[in-house]
Amino acid sequence: MAVSAHILEMLKGSSLVRKMFEAGAQLKAEFGEDNVYDFSIGNPNIEPPAKFAQILKKYADAEIPGKHGYMPNAGYPDVRKSIAAWVSKEQNTAVDASGIIMTSGAGGAMNAVLKSIINYGDRVLVSAPCFMEYKFYADNHGGKLEIIEPAEGFELDIDAFEKAMGPDVAAVILNSPHNPTGTIYSEENLKKFAAMLERSAAKTGRRIYIVCDEPYRKIVFDGAVVPAMFPIYRNTVVVTSYSKDLSIPGERIGYAAINPAADDYDNLVNAVTLCNRIIGFVNAPALMQRIVGEMQGDSVDMNEYKRKRDMLCDGLSDIGYDFHKPAGTFYLFPKAPGGDDSAFVDTLQKERILVVPGKGFAAPGYFRIAFCVADKVIEGSMPGFRKAFELF
Q: How many chain residues bind ligand PLP (CB under 6 A)? A: 13
How many Cα atoms sit within 13 Å of 380 on the Cβ side?
16
CA dist., res. 25 & res. 36, Å (int): 10
Q: For the chain, report the end-to-end CA distance as a whole number of angstroms.
A: 45
Footprint (CB under 6 A) of ligand PLP, residues 9-48:
42
Query: Nearer to ligand PLP by C-beta: 254 or 337?
Result: 254
Judge whether 120 and 142 are in contact, CB under 8 Å.
Answer: yes
Candidates 48, 99, 215, 360; binder of ligand PLP (CB under 6 A) is: 215
Closer residue to ligand PLP in complex, CB, 158/370: 370
- Cβ–Cβ contacts within 10 Å for residue 226, how many? 20
Q: In what order do the strands lie in the sheet with 331-332?
A: 331-332, 367-370, 356-357
Establish if 177 lies at the interface with ligand PLP (CB under 6 A): no
Residue 201, exposed/middle/buried by CB under 10 A (0-12, 13-18, 19+)?
middle
| Buried-state track 138-162, b at ≥16 Cβ within 10 A, e below 16 | bbebebebbbbebeeebebbbeebe
Nearest distance from C-beta of residue 167 to ligand PLP, angstroms = 27
Residue 385, class by beta-carbon neighbours within 10 Å (0-12 exposed, 13-18 middle, 19+ buried)? buried
Least Å distance, CB 115 to ligand PLP, is: 15
Shortest separation between residue 382's beta carbon and ligand PLP, angstroms: 25
Asked if 176 touches ligand PLP (CB under 6 A), the answer is no
Shortest spacing between CB 226 and ligand PLP, in angstroms: 13
Q: In the bound complex, what is the minimum distance in angstroms from residue 107's beta carbon to ligand PLP?
A: 3
- Look at residue 248 and give its three-state secondary structure: coil
Residue 319 beta carbon to ligand PLP: minimum distance, rounded to whole angstroms: 26
182 scored as a contact of ligand PLP (CB under 6 A): no
Residue 227 sits in the site that holds ligand PLP (CB under 6 A): no
Report the site for ligand PLP in 101-140 (rule: CB under 6 A): 105-107, 131
By CB under 6 A, which span of 14-22, 99-107, 220-228, 353-361 interacts with ligand PLP?
99-107
Assess 285 for contact with ligand PLP (CB under 6 A).
no
| Contact with ligand PLP (CB under 6 A) among 213, 245, 251, 341 | 213
241 binds ligand PLP (CB under 6 A): yes
Closer residue to ligand PLP, CB minimum distance, 175 or 259: 175
What interhelical angle do 105-117 and 265-276 show, nearest 10?
A: 120
How many Cα atoms within 13 Å fall on the side-chain side of residue 289? Answer: 25
Residues forming the site for ligand PLP (CB under 6 A): 42, 105-107, 131, 175, 179, 213, 215, 241, 243, 249, 254
